[in-house]
Amino acid sequence: MPQRRHDVSPEHDPYDIGSPAFDRHARDLHALAFIDPLTDLGNSHRLREKVREIALERAADPAPFTIGLANLDGFKPLNDLFGHAAGNEILYQVARRLEACMPDGATVIRMGNDEFAFVLPLVFERKGAEKIGHMLKEVLQAPFELAERTVRLSASFGFAVYPFAGEAYDDLLKSADTALYRSKRRGRGQITVYSQEIAQEMRRATLLEQALRNAIIADEIDVHFQPIVSLDTDMVVGFEALARWCDSDLGYVSPAIFVPLAEERGFIDALSETLLRKAAEAALLWPKELFLSFNLSSAQLMDLATSSTVLAIIHRVGLDPRRLELEITETAMMRDADMAQKIVQELRDAGVRISLDDFGTGQSSLGRLRDFTFDKVKIDRSFVCRIVNDRASEHIVKAIVTMCDGLGLEVVAEGIEDFAEALMLKGLGCGMGQGYFYGKPADATATLRYLRDRYRDTDTKRPIAI
């Protein structure tokens, strides 16, 4: 224990438990325990204390109040790009903005990292919380000054109203966190107020996630194949691999549900690797001139290991890389264009062909054709389904075909449903097509049977007529 200095009187001695100095020192330490040192806002301890204070005040007549959570969208890449000091400066500026626009009686708190919290004593219901959320969202969308740079952010919000979303602090905070998580799932800049319906939705998603993880481990995810044909000859030239899952308890689950779920929950790599392995093994049994088309997710286009993983799988299976085509969307590419470009180039260097999927639905598809190197473009079904009766769709498809011809790119029309569409696309010069008119997706066994029935001469390796 430190020695007391003889020239310090007891009333000013911080080591004397009974002295005023000790009391002040203790109060200062207690206050520091409730402060976030980076932003000077309250911290998570302060949030708990504030919520309990309000709940205690309203114990006799439990009037509602609201707590909220805000998470900065895309803060980690910004922090990685500009450095930790710049990230701290952004957090400090965020804190000042939030503090300046808090309603009367409200408190803003930094929970940690890039997450902030609010206590809103005078917000009693959903519409009021949403109004606050939209106001805060606009405040944080204004550009931030960072040295000589200007950066922009967005934020996602989750709100919970007491006592409907929980009476105990932990329950209320969990409800706000559930609402925030739902907002993050829906994209950037979303606002969610907790409700029982949202809680049930999130529970269903969690149950589905667990079932999907188990299905991947048990190798129960299947691959179906849809034929891609030459419109000139009506011959099959390849197949697109499509994920299928039928759970013993859940029944058929659409890939439009479980594929985004796997990407969102961080195990799309495991799902994709399983599907690619199965698809490549099936393709080994096809005639060697037929190609396999396989979809890459946006998460995979942000992971530099993707190219080596894909190539390792097909080499292990024994599939020629030149028989593999990988489909990527413009939206997926633009999440990290530089990384996507590196991955695409490594795959093309190994002989893999790259298709731009859903062409025409992105915001700057022409720019992508200029900046990236593709082998093929797939025209989105939204144009194909209206091509017969809508002159605008017809001219758009014609323009795409003409442009791709000039760029040396092959073209596939997706979603062909009838003979009239197929005939018009052929007349416009479109090279390939796929859709229910040419064949529905079928499992590996049915696809092989389909090929054996129609492959007329394996020695001459002629295409397959449908």
pLDDT number for residue 462 = 47
Cβ atoms of 462 and 456 within 8 Å: the answer is yes
Answer whether 0.75 is exceeded by the pTM.
Answer: no
Q: What are phi and psi of 104, to 5 degrees?
A: -55, 135
Cβ atoms of 140 and 120 within 8 Å: the answer is no
pLDDT number for residue 18 = 55
**What residues does each domain of the chain span?**
33-194, 209-465
Q: 202: Cβ–Cβ under 8 A, 6 or more apart, which residues?
A: 178, 181, 182
For residue 13, what are the CA distances in angstroms to 21, 27, 28, 222, 232? 6, 15, 15, 75, 96
pLDDT number for residue 80 = 81
For the chain, residues with pLDDT lower than 50 are 1-6, 8, 22, 364, 457-466
Q: What does R_g of the chain's alpha carbons equal in angstroms?
A: 29
Structural tokens at position 356: 């731009």
pLDDT number for residue 460 = 42
pLDDT number for residue 31 = 59
Nearest to 241 by CA among 266, 273, 208: 273
pLDDT number for residue 4 = 41
Fold (CATH) for 33-194: Alpha-Beta Plaits (3.30.70)
Domain 209-465 indexed as CATH 3.20.20.450: yes
pLDDT number for residue 134 = 96
pLDDT number for residue 145 = 87
pLDDT number for residue 60 = 77
Nearest to 106 by CA among 42, 44, 34: 42
pLDDT number for residue 64 = 93
pLDDT number for residue 465 = 44
* Angle value at C-alpha 175, between 173 and 179, nearest 5 degrees: 115
Task: Please report, as a single letter, which amino acid is at residue 234.
Answer: D
pLDDT number for residue 322 = 97
